[in-house]
Amino acid sequence: MEPASGDEKRALTEQAFRQASFSMSVFDAEQRYQRLNDMACLVMGVEEAALLGHPFPFGVPADVSQDGTLIALREVVRTGKPVHYESFTRAPSGIREHAWNLELWPVFGESGEVTAVGMAGFDSSEQHWARQRLAVLDAASISLGRSLDLGRIAEELTELIVPRFAEFASVDLFDDVLRGEEPSEPAEGADLVLRRVAHFSTSHDLSVVEVGGTDRYPWFSPPARAIREGKAVLSSGSGDPDFERWMSAVPQRASRLEAEGGLVTSVLAVPLIARGSTLGVTVLFRARTDEFNEDDFTLAKELASRAALYVDNARRYTRERNTALALQASLLPHGPSQQAAVDVAARYQPADTRAGVGGDWFDVIPLSGARVGLVVGDVVGHGIHACATMGRLRTAVQTLADVDLPPDELLAHLDDLVIRLNGDSEDRGLEFDGAFGETGATCLYAVYDPVSRMLTAASAGHPPPVLVLPDGTTRLLDIGVGPVLGVGGLPFEALEMEVPEGSLLALYSDGLVEARQPDPDLGIERLRTVLTDPIATADLDAGCDHILETMLPEHPMDDVALVLARTRALHSDRVAVWDLETDYPVVAEARRLATAQLVEWGLEECSFVTELVVSELVTNALRYGMEPIQLRLIYDRTLICEVSDSNSTSPHLRRARIFDEGGRGLMLVAQLTAKWGTRHTATGKTIWTEQALRPELGR
């Protein structure tokens, strides 16, 4: 074959230029169109003749940005060097966005100056979307799963998808999932109602459902089909009759889609399935780009699969957290305690972390003799086990306090209990593969007596309370902090001090003072500063809220227990004390003294029972006790009668037989009074009773 002539070569070159499978254009040095091949004309949507001689971007619609291309053309003329430029925009002749690779090169004249610029444009949308899919998967491996918050996981999923993969994405979950429960099976043929957890779109919000609202999906809609069939459903959007029915069912949804540019090119609904349960659905819309293809389909399923696993983890965490919170709420005090020794307010603030609810607790325990016990404790760890252990320790403290053990002895018994619990935990740990670890806990127990205004407190590894005096000055109580509970073999020391009436005691767990800094000493000093603010001390409930708001970050890493107690005093006009002789005629004298005191207090209606109680208790003290013997009446919210002697032997309630001459006295006392008991002291014992008073008579 003979070589082509010059004319043939030019004709062949022209044909190659015209028929190239990619866009080719030639511009002069002023960026005016000089030549366009057929593909370039197809992209521009006009004939070549309509553009020749016009400066770029003539012929490009105003809503299609071409600033980058114009800058690249000028750069080639200025530098005389080729330029590679990438853009993502729709073609002037189309409605969908594409990825473009543009190669621009200079054309030099005989004198060496740039006389023209050649430009070749390649549609690289397929490669672009492939890279985007890889980028989405890479981003998903980094961002998804960092949180155990259902809403945040859903938000992260929609932000991954939009705008790299779709113009709109939503995540809807069943209400059961949001409560931490297993989702129930939807009824066959019924519409599905799901809760909107997150959505995201490229421009203004396409959603007709607010986050937190519900969306009803008809049984024929792509989302409902995806959930029922357990697989992704792809719809061609505006060309799909079922999609049209779905849109017409909610006119507002259709109008918003029209505002976004008209027809939806593709809809993809993917169920969120994890561990065999369908948790919800994610719905994706495309309106200005190509329809979802097989690769998009695969990517969507992979993303949904990953997200569903994280959603299910969050659901399980929510269930455990809700269970722990419910358990803890059932174990903590409810409402004000029935005592008048202190005005009290308390708060429990759970931790806001994936570790779960902790084991902090507090308690206000009414004691005999109008006294009150104040408790704050902290079980090491988080979750159900910590809550259950907290409940056992709280019950133990209440039981030990009820037998009137002093604080140091109470903590010693509690220490023994924790050691036994640890022994049990080792056995259960073998059985349940280590699910139960060793128990560690701290505890502060304080007893306040409003008659003597004496405070007795002991600590087992717990931070000391802060005392705010009536003049506003603060003082950190110098309690000898003993070992944490469970160590064993070491004693606990009790602090005893007189507290002025109207003083404020702040008891707290370490989460309060270590929330913003690891050094507890700095946290305690900060707490003392906060307690000097009148807002923290004027109203106790408001004070608790103010302290928590000031001391804690928005998302505390540890749970916190806080108790504020303002001391009250029972003055001498409410307390009567008599030292009694040790011969039997004193019984009648004791009855007379008690009756006279009741008349003075206006409690004559209590005289009969009080005479019987005084007679029985004083007689028992004379018969079985040791001198000195003391009778005390306390007029508080109840009428308290106490008889003390120096013998530590406790009386026992027993049922007298028919022919017994004695043994009925304590039985009568128990039946006629609200409660009775024995309190041991360093010098002997006290037998006490309480009689309920009408509300208008109580303190």
Our CA angle for 644, 339, 546, nearest 5°, is 140
Helix axes 241-249, 222-229, angle to 10 degrees: 110
d(CA 154, CA 139): 14
Give the C-alpha distances (Å, rounded to integers) separating 15 from 7, 12, 118, 518. Answer: 12, 5, 17, 78
Give the C-alpha distances (Å, rounded to integers) separating 532 from 513, 543, 636. Answer: 16, 11, 31
pLDDT in tens, 669-694: 888 899 998 988 888 899 999 999 98
Sequence-distant contacts of 241-249: CB under 8 A, at least 24 apart: 243/267, 245/218, 245/220, 245/221, 246/217, 246/218, 246/220, 246/221, 246/222, 249/218
Reading the block at residue 35, the tokens are 């030549």
Query: How does strand 684-692 pair with strand 638-645?
Result: antiparallel
pLDDT of residue 374: 97
Per cent of the chain over pLDDT 90 is 48
3-state secondary structure of 594: helix
pLDDT of residue 436: 42
Q: Is 314 exposed, middle or buried (0-12, 13-18, 19+ CB in 10 A)?
A: buried
pLDDT of residue 430: 40
Q: Residue 519: what are its φ and ψ, rounded to 5°? A: -85, 110
DSSP code for 367? -
Largest Cα–Cα distance of the chain, in whole Å? Answer: 151
The answer to whether domain 20-123 has CATH 3.40.50.300 is no
Per the CB < 8 A criterion, the answer to whether 630 and 578 are in contact is yes
Q: What is the pTM of this model?
A: 0.70
| Unique residue bearing structure tokens 């670890």 | 437
Per the CB < 8 A criterion, the answer to whether 365 and 443 are in contact is no
pLDDT in tens, 412-432: 999 999 998 887 766 554 443
Task: Report the residue count for the chain.
Answer: 699
Q: Which CATH class is domain 332-567?
A: alpha beta
Identity of the residue numbered 98: H
Dihedral sign from CA coordinates of 245, 246, 249, 252: negative
pLDDT in tens, 353-396: 665 677 899 999 999 999 999 999 999 887 778 888 888 999 99
Per the CB < 8 A criterion, the answer to whether 40 and 23 are in contact is yes
Comparing 20-123 with 128-322, is the CATH topology the same?
Answer: yes
Residue 57: asked if its preceding bond is cis (omega within 30°), the reply is: yes
Q: Provide the residue ranges of all domains of the chain, joining segments of one domain with +.
A: 20-123, 128-322, 332-567, 572-692
Residue 163: asked if its preceding bond is cis (omega within 30°), the reply is: yes
Reading the block at residue 226, the tokens are 């995806």
What are residue 216's DSSP bridge partners? Answer: 193
pLDDT of residue 260: 54
Q: Please list the ranges in the chain whose pLDDT falls under 50.
A: 429-437, 656-662
For 501-616, strand residue ranges (E) read 504-508, 560-567, 575-580
- Homologous superfamily of the 128-322 domain (CATH): GAF domain (3.30.450.40)
Candidate CATH numbers 1.20.1250.20, 3.30.1330.30, 3.90.226.30, 3.30.565.10; the one for domain 572-692: 3.30.565.10
pLDDT of residue 410: 96
pLDDT of residue 201: 86
pLDDT of residue 573: 92
Reading the block at residue 433, the tokens are 């593969």
